[in-house]
Structure formats: C-alpha cells, structure tokens
Amino acid sequence: MSDWEKNVRKVTPYIPGEQPKCAHVIKLNTNECPYPPSPMVAEALNHGNKEKLRLYPDPEAMELVSAIADYYNVDNNQVFVGVGSDDVIGMAFLTFFNSDKPILFPDITYSFYDVWADLFKIDYITKPLNQNFEIMKEDYMGENGGIIFPNPNAPTAVEMETSDIEDIVRENSDVVVIVDEAYADFGDVTALELIKKYDNLLVVRTFSKSRAMAGMRIGYAIGNEKLISAMKSVKFSYNSYTMNMTSIDAGVAAIKDDAYFKKIVSQIIETRERAKKELAELGFTFTDSKTNFLFAKHNSIKAEVIFEELKKKNIFVRYFKKPRIDNYLRITIGTEQEMQQLYDAVREIVDMQSD
C-alpha cells in the first residue's frame, strides 16, 4: 500500500438498483414511475430560455422553493431543495447528526442511511422491525443523537400511523427526527402537519417517484425555519450551485400541474391494489403496501430463483440478499400492461417449478 493510500477515506458505497442497458426491459426494480412527467414539464424544457444557461443558477432555487412552499402552504424559509432526496438527506445527516451519541434507524430500511453514517463518521444503532416488519416506536425513546426512518418504510412498504410518529418526535425534542417521505404520496399518512407543532422534525420528499422525475434529481425538505437555515449554511459551505436551471424550471412546472400528479398517483394505487389480488392468487404474500412497490414472498419458490427467472424473461425486480429479507422481492408497480406481463411470467415460473 502506498503511503498516501493509508489516508484515503474508506467507504463502502450504496449500490443502486440496476439500470439495464438493453431495450425491451420491463423495469420494476428501482421504484421509478412508469408514466412520463407532466406534459407541462416537457413544455418548460422545450420552451425554456437557453440563452440564460450561460449564467449561474439561483443558488437558493427560489422559484422552485416558492412553488413547493405555496403547494404545502408553508413559508419559503421552511423549504430546502436538493439534487434528489439523497442529496437532501445527506445534507441533513451532515447538518444535524453531530452529537457523540449514536443515531437510530430501523435494521431493515433504506440502505443509504448506514452509508451516509459511515461516510460522515456518525455512530449509529439499528433497531429491529417487529415480525410484521413494523417500526416499534418504543425503540426510539432512549437517548440518541438523532433519528431517521422512512414512512412508509422501504423496502418493506409498511406505513406507520401519524400518532406513533408524533410520539417519537415529541419524546426526542433534544434531537432532530427526520421522516423520509419518499413514498408518502402513495399512502395515507404524512408528518407534514406536525411541522407546525415540533421544531425538531424534518420531512423529506422527492420528485423521483410520484412526480415521475427521477432523472431530473429533485428532492426537498420541509421543517422549522431554523432547521432549514442550518441546512442551507452547510450546503453553501460545500457547493452552492447544485440545483441547475433546467431542474428548477421543470420542477416548478411539475408542481403546478396538480391534476396530472393526482391522476398518475391514483392510477398507480389502483394498479397496486389489483397487483395484490393477482400476486396473491399466484402464491405470494406481502405486507399491506402503501407505496409504489410490493414487498412480496412466494409460498413455495425462493425469491432469488424468481428474481433470476424473471431476469431471463427481461423483467427486472429488486432482490436484497440480506438477513431477514432474503426471501422477499421488491416489485415496483408498473403500468397495467407491464404488470400483466409480470403476472404471466410469474405463472410460467410457478408452472415450471411445480413440474
């Protein structure tokens, strides 16, 4: 090992789901939206003023911040925007998780949390979900340096009630509690209402799932103005110009087309509820998903086998070879047609295995 290598920061990076290069793939592996973004986004991109690209963007991304603030009826200074919610959550870790006590998050959850904790040298303890893959609020009542969990949780798709979230936030008033609501638009619960009452709550959301814009990279956080101001100070000490002009324009257009947003979200929910029935008939059991994916296990065929067999048929789902969940598949809800192809493919696999 060269001398300089000893001082290289050692990290094990987060591994995102595969982005297959070949065409004709049914891609149900990274929880993207199967529908295009609002037509108003295309319009904003086509008709945007290209000449202005020679200038730096507004580091505060105020147009987007203010569109989001109007939408949720909060002040501009309660909104922070970033390059996807990954960027926003990473900034929040850096800003808020600085105590000498460990932060807490579930043992089965978004697999980026431990990566950020390691990168920023933040001590952490994971709290096991119960047998039904539920977060146990009692586990989050002891001393800690901060808390983060997604609601609904990923990859389990299980949603926690608002009153349980409120208990956690209230009992931890000396630290920041981050609720990652990447999938909340597909569920029944949001912690946004609690922001008025608790200054230690940060809610993080994304345009990647329900607004069909994973490629644009837009995420945001809503919280008390002191939290947002602290995040901005950290962000502006690192890189001011992360939100590029096209993302800002496209994001504003997406927020303004609320009818389209509601239409695609309800379509995905409808397809999800149908998928629950279809996959149950094919021998799957799953948690009661409140997201745009199902977390499913087959009653006789191993998840890894189904994963591999589906891949051979050009259908990509997600499989995590990890303790407690290595017999589950995470299946993103696609279009009705894509889901029909999934059911047909699974039926063939089930028939083949039972021969």
Residue closest to ligand PMP when measured from CB atoms: 84
Residues from 218 through 277 that contact ligand PMP (CB under 6 A): 219
Establish if 185 lies at the interface with ligand PMP (CB under 6 A): no
110 binds ligand PMP (CB under 6 A): yes
Name which of 139 and 181 has its Cβ closer to ligand PMP.
181
- Name the one range near ligand PMP by CB under 6 A: 48-56, 83-91, 121-129, 162-170: 83-91
Query: Two tokens at 186?
Result: 């597909």
Considering only 37, 90, 150, 334, the residue that binds ligand PMP (CB under 6 A) is: 150
Task: Determine the distance from the C-alpha atom of residue 298 to the mean position of all C-alpha atoms in its chain, rounded to a whole number.
Answer: 25
What torsion do the CA atoms of 333, 334, 339, 342 make, to the nearest 10 degrees? -90
Selected binder of ligand PMP within 34, 57, 84, 90 (CB under 6 A): 84
**Which of 293, 346 has the CB closer to ligand PMP?**
293
Q: How many CA atoms lie less than 13 Å away from 111 in the CB half-sphere?
A: 14
Is 292 a binder of ligand PMP (CB under 6 A)? no
Going by their DSSP bridges, the two strands 79-82 and 219-223 should be labelled as: antiparallel
Which of residues 290 and 345 has its CB atom nearest to ligand PMP in the complex?
A: 290
Structure letter (DSSP) for residue 78 = G
What mask of x and - would describe binding to ligand PMP in positions 5 to 34, judged by CB under 6 A?
------------------------------
φ, ψ for residue 343 (rounded to 5)?
-60, -45
Q: Which is nearer to ligand PMP, 129 or 349 (CB)?
A: 129
Residues 6+ apart with CB under 8 A from 120: 93, 94, 97
Indicate the residue among 34 and 150 with the shorter CB distance to ligand PMP: 150
Residue 159: closest CA among 280, 25, 33, 293: 293
d(CA 294, CA 51): 44
Complex with ligand PMP: residue 212 or 252, whichever CB lies closer: 212
Q: Strand (E) positions, the chain?
A: 26-27, 79-82, 103-106, 124-127, 147-150, 177-180, 201-206, 219-223, 284-286, 293-298, 315-316, 318-319, 329-332
Q: Per rule CB under 6 A, is residue 317 in the interface with ligand PMP?
A: no
For residues 41 to 80, the per-residue mask of contacts with ligand PMP, x marking binding by CB under 6 A and - elsewhere, is ----------------------------------------
* Length of the chain counted residue by residue: 355
Site residues (vs ligand PMP, CB under 6 A): 84-86, 110, 150, 154, 180, 182, 206, 208, 214, 219
